[in-house]
Amino acid sequence: MNDTEYEGFRKKVLERVWTDLAPFEERIESEEQIPYAEINPVITDLGLWGLMVPEEYGGLGLTVSQYLPILSELAKVHGGIRVVVHVHNSNAHALSVLGSEEQRRAVLPGVAGGTMSIGFALTEPDFGTGADLGSIAVRDRDEYILNGRKHLISNSDFATHFIYFAKTDPDAGELGVSAFLVERGASGLAIEPLPETMGCKGGEHGRITATDVRVPVQNLLGQEGQGVAQLEETLELSRVLVAASSLGTAERALELAVEHSRTRVTFGKPLAHRQAVQRYIAEMAQDVYALKLMLSDCARKWDAGRRIPAEASMTKNFGLEAVGRVTDRALLTFGGIGYTRAHSIERLYRDARLNWLEEGTPTIQNMVVARALVGGYTIEDGW
């Protein structure tokens, strides 16, 4: 999509998400469900299902620089809707990178049109992350037999396929993990809902249990033992996208806090005239500005074809810290009324907390950054 086409597309999306999606905020928060029957037509009409799907498979094929502003805007509108679109597109990108041409052609056109979707089945209830998995895949002639448990799998309520990580060689450490494309209807695959989340209401983050699930050999993604390397590559970009989600939430919280400070009068003066509130606003703006610059640098490097392991994790970490500080200060600006559902700041405050956990906790991000730098990775300043 060239610059002229993109600007027209972006303008249309940014207008319609507020006119056609934002009105569902109160309903989603109350019912803790996304009304897909009413929202899907809007998402489909805007092309949001195919934002990160390459054009050759029916998507829009946006660059990261083009995608980030749209994702950030969705985070402003509603966290649950943002999660659904983010997970759908992130996993579409993962398959476009990891899948064979046959696998891409079988799934990505449906993903672009919203008739198919991909879940990322990594996290397990009894283990950690990366190579610390309990799921096992044993080769049996032209199939693998898959057993294991996953949980907190986003979009599990409507995903038609899962990128499922399991050990094909339990004794090989990181070199013993492989990734498979598993269909939702596979015999022995059970999908159950988990309790509703604190924020980003409406999306499903379910439990998947694989009991002797037979997966065709051709559903292996890449080669055996490449799972951890594949995981690192796909999560790299997704961490940047989580940071963009933090930016959207932080920007909206700042906008609402500034507006409230202008109109809320105490002791005869608007809050905006009080030095303490001015300091809150200045600190919020600094966090938003710094996060924007970090995201811009990550997007520029990624779109140029570069890997950004340290930058992605640092930006994700800074983003979660920034949105935490911004929503804290925004709540303080609103005072007690901000703790009620009378204002969207209460919802934004809760939405922000998911960003701490998506695509790895702060300790995981610190480990990735330190490992990269100790291993010789250099962060170019980009001047």
- Closest by CA to 77, choosing from 155, 151, 8, 18, is 18
Known active-site residue 25: no
Count CB atoms within 10 A of the CB of residue 285: 16
Query: Burial level of 33, CB count in 10 A (0-12/13-18/19+)?
Result: middle
Catalytic residue among 29, 311, 358, 359: 359
Distance of CA 208 to the CA centre of its chain: 19
Inter-residue contact 75 to 252 (CB < 8 Å): yes
Active site residues: 359
